[in-house]
Structure 1
């Protein structure tokens, strides 16, 4: 029996969430459908991919190896079905600014695709913070930027959100919260908290904590997502971060799980920004057209005149 994409998707969801029930909710299907698909997959590859226990589904060594291949398969399928922009005659230099989180967890794969779609386009990438991006766009040091769009402050900067990444609670594998029907900020406040600070993440975190009656018990403030991941996975604290920066394993090989909090937590928005007075050249248009098509954004006209209303929203930090 050949392996199906359905089996791969169900396997990945179960591997990431650690429980068939959570995978079924994420996929909007029945638990029996997930169970059947995983059993069929294990029979096909003739390997045990999961260790079953009362606390959930843990990957076996074979399962961890298979997960890497599963990610590659789904990535290739996504590329084949979502990127249809043909190679164009766009040539020239495009100076792009991006923030730390965007460069680390969002841009690399898209830059590779852009290079294939527009081989004559020379993209020069600069990593800078949001304030420097706004100044550079207005001073014409950068043509366009990729950043957390809800952070944009200057009304002379136009922005367009391409994707939103849900924020969830990160906990170590087998944390007691995983057995609770509902987890809220009151529960999180009793745990040691690892606070990410890069890309204004701390400001965002405090913004939604401030609307509750609780405060995080901050054990460490760090600009490193990998430090947060390692400390959470090893049981030294919990964190609330976005799905975009989530990976189920720390560098030490320890597992993390995620939980949806009962209180609403703002998503992390990623998109493009440019100076309102800027006149789009062919390189800028090609760059924006790629992202609009990749994320199915309607090809609407964007008003970049100085009098246009600014795209402002609540502060949105990394993670």
Structure 2
């Protein structure tokens, strides 16, 4: 049985949105059409890609691997269609600031795509802290920024959320919590907790922990994602981090598993910001439109996340 682009698009939409009904709404089709397409896709692949449950669907291990390939295929089709865009002939420049997490785990894939689609666009890239980025945008040192949208403090900036990355509990591959049908903050509070601090991650974590009756038993605060990854994989503690920075293996080659908590955990929102009173230059327009078009697509919202994981393996 052959695989179609339609099946891939329906599968990716369902995987990202977590519910077949939501995927159907986004795609403006019936839920049965999504169900049949994914069923046929699983038959063609010969593996179960989505795990069905009362709250929706989640990716199986095979589904996660297949999702990466699906993104690559759909990205290739997307670029082929956009290659005829007249804007590809633009000659302009844009000064882009990015925070550590977005620069390390999100932007590289998109920068490569932008360079391919718009070879005449010169991007001058800067890494900075969120407060430095905000000040730089207002002072006209940067034209535009890619950063964590929910952390932006200045009312003088216009911010557009472009994607949301689910936060999950990270545990070692043999952790007892993997045997539980439902894991809550009460369970996590009993475990040694590794707290990431980079890009104000600790402040963000404590905001959602403060809305519970529990608090994390923090044994280490670190700015290193790799340190968190290694300590979790070695069984020294657990962590709650976004899918964007997740990879299944530590530097030592040990496996990390993820658990979706029963309690609500806010997703990590990535966004684009620029000064409200600044005129949008041609270079800024191309940069903005690229992300708007890419992430408005129901079948290509998180390509960079999966591409980053693939490249790191």
TM-score range, shorter chain: 0.7 to 0.9
Partner of 1:76 in structure 2? 72
SS of structure 1 residue aligned to 2:171 = strand
**Residues in 2 aligned to 1:3 and 1:295: alpha-carbon distance in whole angstroms:** 24
**Residues in 2 aligned to 1:37 and 1:265: alpha-carbon distance in whole angstroms:** 33
| Deviation (angstroms), 1:37 | 4.6
Superposition RMSD in Å: 3.5
Partner of 1:121 in structure 2? 121
**Residues in 2 aligned to 1:4 and 1:280: alpha-carbon distance in whole angstroms:** 39
Aligned length: 266
1:221 matches 2:217: no
Cα contact 1:162–1:297 (8 A) shared by 2? no
Show CA shifts across 1:245-301 (max 9, x none). 111111211111111112111110001000011100111001000000000179xxx
| Pairing of 1:208-247 with structure 2 (within 5 A) | 208-247=208-247
**Residues in 2 aligned to 1:87 and 1:97: alpha-carbon distance in whole angstroms:** 26
Partner of 1:306 in structure 2? none
Instruction: Decide whether aligned partners of structure 1 residues 4 and 219 sit closer, same or farther in structure 2, where only a CA change above 3 A counts.
Output: farther
Cα contact 1:87–1:118 (8 A) shared by 2? no
Cα contact 1:98–1:128 (8 A) shared by 2? yes
Report runs of 4+ in structure 1 exceeding 6 Å deviation.
1-7, 27-30
| Deviation (angstroms), 1:121 | 0.5
SS of structure 2 residue aligned to 1:80 = helix
1:108 matches 2:108: yes
Partner of 2:250 in structure 1? 250
SS of structure 2 residue aligned to 1:141 = coil
1:280 matches 2:276: no
Q: Give structure 1 stretches of 5+ with no counterpart.
A: 14-21, 42-57, 299-319
Bigger Cα Rg:
1
SS of structure 1 residue aligned to 2:155 = coil
Larger fraction in helix: 2
Q: Give structure 2 stretches of 5+ with no counterpart.
A: 24-33, 48-59, 299-313
**Residues in 2 aligned to 1:134 and 1:117: alpha-carbon distance in whole angstroms:** 28
